[in-house]
Amino acid sequence: MAFLPACPAEYAARGPFDFVIVTGDSYVDHPSFGVAIVGRVLEAEGFSVAVLARPDPDDAEAFRLAGRPRLAWLAASGVLDSMVSSYTANRRPRSEDAYAPGGNPALCLRADGTIGVGVEGRANARPDRAVIAYAAKCREAFKGVPVVLGGLEASLRRLSHYDHRSDTVRRSILLDSKADLLVHGMAERQLVALARRLAAGEDARAIRGLRGTAWWTSKESELPAGSVRLPPFAAVTGADEASRRAFAESFAAQYRASDPWSAKPLVEEAEGRFVVVEPPEFPLGREELDRVWALPFERRAHPLYEAAGGVPALSEVKFSVAATRGCFGACAFCAIAFHQGRVPSSRSRESIVAEVERFARDPDWKGIVHDVGGPTANFLGPACAKQARSGPCPDRRCLSPEPCPALEVDHREWLGTLRALRALPGVRKVFVRSGIRFDHLMLERDPLVLRELAEHHVSGQLKVAPEHVSDRVLALMGKPPHRVFEAFATEWRKANDALGKRQFLVPYFIASHPGATLDDAIELALRLKDYGFVPDQVQDFYPTPGTLATAMYRAGLDPLTLEPVHVARGDRERAMQRALLQFDRPENRATVLEALREAGRAELAGVLLGKGAEGGGARVADRGGARRP
């Protein structure tokens, strides 16, 4: 086995290349990284591929290192949207980047082929809205070579979208980048089809009708018959009520067109040009996923980064198994529906077992499988027979606010795979650390599922995501009522008591999600006080492209109902909601008092902050014992 070419010596020895993949991440040849999958899939189809990872964004010479691509550039920001990678939810620059060499965001691949700080000395070598910057440099490096965008950033910004950093609605990234084509969703199938058409001599700008792609034209006569016309870009960019409503209506149409079974092409006009988004590609089936994971991944970072300390992001996934894709959970704050789809698919037990058996060849493996999961670990396939046959219901969630009567719940395959992994020679422990939907697990009739999860697959703590306690907010989130979490917490305690184990739930909560008011945040703080639990980590709501919650944040409306939704926009209210979730911290004391006064609930200061809250005061929760939920 060998890495895909990713440094000057390898470029010289194995070039020229059909495709050069440009990415904002370091190159890790592991199937948890999209660039590695795309490169290996194309290589398996007979195409030559080079990886240009984290090139100096200010130096066109760095983009010439791999030579002129024969068919196209493939440009992506990396595993994450570049703005999420580089900025916090409060728009502050991040000081670390797990996908950069040694975690240092300043390091890049320089024009001399070494890893270091670029010519402009940027503190962060991943440019803002990276695919726009990369597309420009690709054209500068070699004129006339088609540029194809892909990855999460391109996928979620394929139409007009709210950009949190600039607090504006931006047009399709396809137009801003001046690229020839955009690939959206999980890209294996459409990229192979695209590669074959390019190799046959088709012009990238003229390719039409390919699922999972987006293209643009200035000719209305070229628009597909039967397409859905979205509100034009000019109608969704303003700050007035009409623009916000148009933005919500546009997102609702996109949301309903996110499933390949029912989707029609979408058309959005922007400044005299039309962006056409073809329907999503269908998810890969089990045999196709197995073939992808059987490709010859090195499962480690390229040696180019050894001197910088490797690539920190690998440590989280090196001995983990990505068993599933897609999710029918339909959480409002999640973009999986737009990128992976709402119908889960999973690998075979044989494929998963074979991957874990390969772990034994790595001298660093200690016999521990860190995770077996995916977007939702216990979703292995479609939610029901109808979903398997004709896709998800366009206007109905499977689990929220109450489970659909047609939902089929059966964890036998999941449990059987975990048992098979536990039985492998040399395996000491198999953990499930990626998210489980506890509401789905509560519908399981077989008590062995929860018992075995507690007995074998948890190390002291099970992380779950109730997200809030207000049923109104939870309904907007696409989560079950809070009573479901409380019922699960009870069953979890019973299962652990029966095993003689002391294992806790660690619940995650989101502050300032659209719909959540100060009163809701106070209700959450009071419930946390009752539980004797104060979270060590709180997630501030982050308005990222491609989520229903971000459309709520932008519009102040629920796009699916057009009902008004409260939005905590300013730093002040966001800070108050966050502080209430960690009310016992001394540094949050003044902000909690301010929030209580703002809400007219000052009488609760003594409850949350202890006696004498208006003066001094002590911590009211002991973190060591604060895991009762």
Mean pLDDT of the chain: 94
Cα-Cα-Cα-Cα dihedral of 468, 469, 473, 478, to 10°?
Answer: 70
Buried b (16+ CB within 10 A) or exposed e, 214-248: bbbbeeeeeeeeebbebbbbebbbeeeeebbbbbb
Give the pLDDT confidence of 110-129 residue by residue, as tens digits. 999 999 999 999 999 999 99
Q: Which residues partner with 55 through β-bridges?
A: 109
Tell me which architecture the domain covering 460-629 has in CATH: 2-Layer Sandwich (3.30)
Q: Are strands 213-217 and 273-277 parallel, antiparallel or unpaired?
A: antiparallel
Fold: same for 8-206 and 460-629: no
User: Exposed/middle/buried for 401, CB within 10 Å: 0-12, 13-18, 19+?
Assistant: middle
Determine what percent of the chain is predicted with pLDDT higher than 70. 97
- Please say whether the beta carbons of 597 and 614 come within 8 A: no
pLDDT over 80 (residue 505) = yes
The predicted model gives 396-412 an average pLDDT of 93
pLDDT over 70 (residue 600) = yes
The predicted model gives 363-382 an average pLDDT of 94
CA gap 329, 336 in Å, rounded: 9
What is the number of other CB atoms lying within 10 angstroms of the CB of residue 375?
Answer: 22
- Please say whether the beta carbons of 593 and 605 come within 8 A: yes
**Coil vs helix vs strand at 181:** strand
Q: Which residues partner with 170 through β-bridges?
A: 161
Determine what percent of the chain is predicted with pLDDT higher than 90. 92
Rounded to the nearest angstrom, the gap between the alpha carbon of residue 195 and the centroid of all alpha carbons in its chain is: 26
CA gap 619, 588 in Å, rounded: 11
Which of the four pLDDT bands, split at 50, 70 and 90, describes residue 619?
A: very low
pLDDT over 80 (residue 621) = no
CA atoms within 13 A on the CB side of 301: 24
pLDDT over 90 (residue 335) = yes
Which of the four pLDDT bands, split at 50, 70 and 90, describes residue 1?
A: low
Cα-Cα-Cα-Cα dihedral of 150, 153, 156, 159, to 10°?
Answer: -80
Between 611 and 337, the higher pLDDT residue: 337
Q: What was the pLDDT predicted at 257? A: 92
The single-letter code of the amino acid at 568 is A
CA atoms within 13 A on the CB side of 264: 10
CA gap 31, 37 in Å, rounded: 6
Give the pLDDT confidence of 409-450 residue by residue, as tens digits. 999 999 999 999 999 999 999 999 988 999 999 999 999 999
What value, to the nearest 5°, has the Cα angle with vertex 247 and ends 246 and 253? 90
- Where is average pLDDT lowest: 31-35, 290-294, 532-536? 532-536
Alpha-helix residue ranges (DSSP H) falling in 400-542: 412-422, 438-442, 447-456, 471-477, 482-499, 518-531
Contacts of 140 (CB under 8 A, 6+ apart): 60, 63
The single-letter code of the amino acid at 173 is I
The single-letter code of the amino acid at 439 is D
pLDDT over 60 (residue 613) = no
Which of the four pLDDT bands, split at 50, 70 and 90, describes residue 580?
A: very high
Give the pLDDT confidence of 26-64 residue by residue, as tens digits. 999 999 999 999 999 999 999 999 999 999 999 999 999
Cis ω on the peptide bond leading into residue 401 (within 30° of 0)? Answer: yes
- Please say whether the beta carbons of 224 and 276 come within 8 A: yes
**Coil vs helix vs strand at 301:** strand
Q: What was the pLDDT predicted at 623? A: 31
Give the pLDDT confidence of 132-141 residue by residue, as tens digits. 999 999 999 9
Q: Give the domain 8-206 fold.
A: Rossmann fold (3.40.50)
CA gap 246, 159 in Å, rounded: 14
Q: What was the pLDDT predicted at 536? A: 85
CA gap 593, 614 in Å, rounded: 8
Distances (CA, A) of 339 to 155, 287, 353, 416: 7, 21, 27, 29
Q: What was the pLDDT predicted at 617? A: 28
Please tell me the pTM assigned to this model: 0.93
Segments making up each domain of the chain, as ranges = 8-206, 460-629
Tell me which residue of 158, 150, 424, 195 sits closest to 277, measured CA to CA: 158
Give the pLDDT confidence of 152-204 residue by residue, as tens digits. 999 999 999 999 999 999 999 999 999 999 999 999 999 999 999 999 999 99
Q: What was the pLDDT predicted at 612? A: 53
pLDDT over 60 (residue 624) = no
